[in-house]
Amino acid sequence: MRLVQISDPHIVARPGLVSGRLDTAATLENTVARIMELRPKVAPIAALLVTGDITDDGAPESYALFREIIAPLDLPILAIPGNHDVRESMRAAFDDTGLMPKTGPLNWISDLPGLRIIGLDTLVEGEGGGTLGKASLEFLADALEMAPDFPILVALHHPPFSCGIGFMDTIGLSGTDKLAEVLRRSSRDIRLVCGHIHHVQFSSVGGCPVISAPAVCSTFDIDFRADAPTGFFDSPGGFLLHDLKAGFRTIAVPPTSGQGPYPFK
């Protein structure tokens, strides 16, 4: 069972540029082309998981453009919101996936062959930081308890760990201790995936491994100094390929393959 995870495409309707600089629609198109290039070599792909900041502005036209660009993949879409998303626009934009609840946080469960995926909504509208409210934590606890005897992947936008990049840690996830408690109470095989920090980082929460996806559209500098400048770099980050087969492995796929393969000499 394999799935592709993309994160943080930050789409805006054309001809908009994010921060006056990033053509995020073009970067997502390149990422879709990269997935198409890879796909025959790693088929079959069961679904496309999108871990938030799908749009930069939450506008319905931006969600429509996102759907248009990923349409050639023809994959089931499992989408959770990020801090840049707008809950009701997103609920409407993905209504046809059958995952979105009619009201409340955009938490959902998707059971794929041999894998339960639990999507959690950490969005606090108007704020950069995220949280898991009481309803979402109870949703998670129930979804873990009632799960079939499968490995479980929990997806959320904000990483449940400190990433070391100061300006991102100021807009991190609050209430991580409560999430850790829920995870610790479960005896299931759980791992978590997230986005938001535009980097691949590996950590743990509540005794479970967690990995963050790169961003489709840009990256942040790895700078742990207190006076590190706030801002982004215009390099796309690629995506993650999750592969569940005799265990679970995650592969970070760079945005371009480069030239090759050249023979070893």
The CA distance from 30 to 238, in Å, is 9
Picking from 178, 164, 175, the residue whose alpha carbon sits closest to that of residue 220 is 164
Out of 196, 198, 199, 242, the residue judged to bind Fe ion by CB under 5 A = 196
Closest to Fe ion by CB, 9 or 82: 82
Question: How many residues form the binding site for Fe ion (CB under 5 A)?
Answer: 4
Q: Is the dihedral of CA 258, 163, 151, 117 positive or negative?
A: negative
Task: From 20-28, 81-89, 103-111, 252-260, give the range in contact with Fe ion by CB under 5 A.
Answer: 81-89
The CA distance from 150 to 116, in Å, is 6
Out of 82, 130, 237, 238, the residue judged to bind Fe ion by CB under 5 A = 82
The CA distance from 255 to 200, in Å, is 13
Per CB under 5 A, does 53 bind Fe ion? Answer: yes
Give the three-class secondary structure for 108: strand
Task: From 35-43, 66-74, 195-203, 241-249, give the range in contact with Fe ion by CB under 5 A.
Answer: 195-203
* Closest approach of Fe ion to the CB of residue 262, in Å: 38
Task: From 22-30, 36-44, 74-82, 100-108, give the range in contact with Fe ion by CB under 5 A.
Answer: 74-82
- The DSSP code sequence of 19-59 is TTTB-HHHHHHHHHHHHHHHHHHHPPEEEEEEES--BSS--
Site string for Fe ion, 22-41 (x = CB under 5 A): --------------------
Chain residues in the site for Fe ion (CB under 5 A): 53, 82-83, 196
